[in-house]
């Protein structure tokens, strides 16, 4: 059993108050419109969904990818509760995901125009390979958003966050995106190190 299968039972309670604002900002940075397709990488319990679904509407498509069954079970409950018909959840290691697998799960040919990854790349062990793989799946002109924590200096909270989330917040996970994409932008959502264990950043790049 993965740590996140266990963490799933109290994840929303522990995490949501701290990251709610950042998620909203991340989704806004995608400039989504009705009918858009969004892939939520390492979607976990689906806390981004409530920000994405009202914008893409019933004609859009949201694909959530995560390898933890426990986390996805919580996401499934949110989907059912909200009666969202256009959400596809894929239980898979994001490093191994292929376009044909996504299309098979969606039941139709699709173009991934938007990818959002919140607090995923600091956790995924093979994060560089995953980022590379997901960027390859992105359609030309598509947007890739990362929201994550980077500890430029270590405080007590850094240690706490790394243990609780099984994360490595020393990663500069925006750097490969900067190399791969065009119109790259990096900004800080919050500099409250005492709350996040580091700087909470938002990185945005487009596929050329």
Residue 58 or 77 with smaller CB distance to ligand SAM:
77
Give first-to-last CA distance, the chain, whole Å. Answer: 39
- Asked if 161 interacts with ligand SAM (CB under 6 A), we say no
Buried b vs exposed e over 162-181: b needs ≥16 C-beta within 10 Å? beebebbbebebbebbeebb
Tokens of 103: 């299309």
Residue with the CB atom nearest ligand SAM in the bound state: 44
Question: What is the spatial distance between Cα 121 and Cα 167, in angstroms, rounded to a whole number?
Answer: 9
Q: Please list every residue from 87 through 126 that binds ligand SAM, using CB under 6 A.
A: 93-95, 118-120, 123-124
Residue 35 or 54 with smaller CB distance to ligand SAM:
54
Which residue of 47, 142, 197, 205 would you call a contact of ligand SAM, by CB under 6 A?
A: 47
- Asked if 64 interacts with ligand SAM (CB under 6 A), we say no
Helices (H) and strands (E) in the chain, counts: 9, 7
List of residues contacting ligand SAM (CB under 6 A): 4, 15, 42-44, 47-48, 65-68, 71, 93-95, 118-120, 123-124, 130, 165
């Amino acid at each position: 059993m993965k740590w996140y299968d266990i963490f799933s039972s109290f994840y929303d309670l522990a995490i949501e108050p701290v990251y709610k604002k950042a998620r909203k900002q991340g989704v806004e940075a995608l400039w989504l419109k009705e009918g858009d397709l969004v892939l939520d990488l390492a979607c976990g319990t689906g806390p981004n969904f409530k920000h994405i679904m009202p914008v893409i509407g019933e004609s859009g498509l949201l694909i959530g990818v995560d390898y933890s069954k426990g986390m996805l079970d919580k996401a499934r409950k949110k989907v059912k509760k909200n009666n969202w018909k256009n959400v596809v959840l894929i239980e898979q290691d994001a490093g191994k995901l292929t376009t044909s697998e996504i299309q098979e799960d969606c039941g139709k040919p699709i173009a991934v125009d938007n990818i959002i990854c919140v607090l995923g790349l600091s956790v995924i062990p093979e994060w560089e390979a995953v980022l590379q793989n997901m960027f390859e799946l992105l359609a030309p002109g598509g947007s890739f958003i990362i929201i994550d924590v980077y500890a430029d200096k270590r405080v007590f909270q850094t240690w706490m966050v790394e243990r609780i989330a099984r994360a490595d917040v020393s990663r500069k996970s925006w750097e490969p995106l900067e190399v791969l994409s065009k119109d790259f932008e990096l900004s800080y959502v919050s500099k409250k190190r005492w709350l996040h264990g580091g700087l909470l950043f938002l990185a945005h790049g487009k596929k050329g």
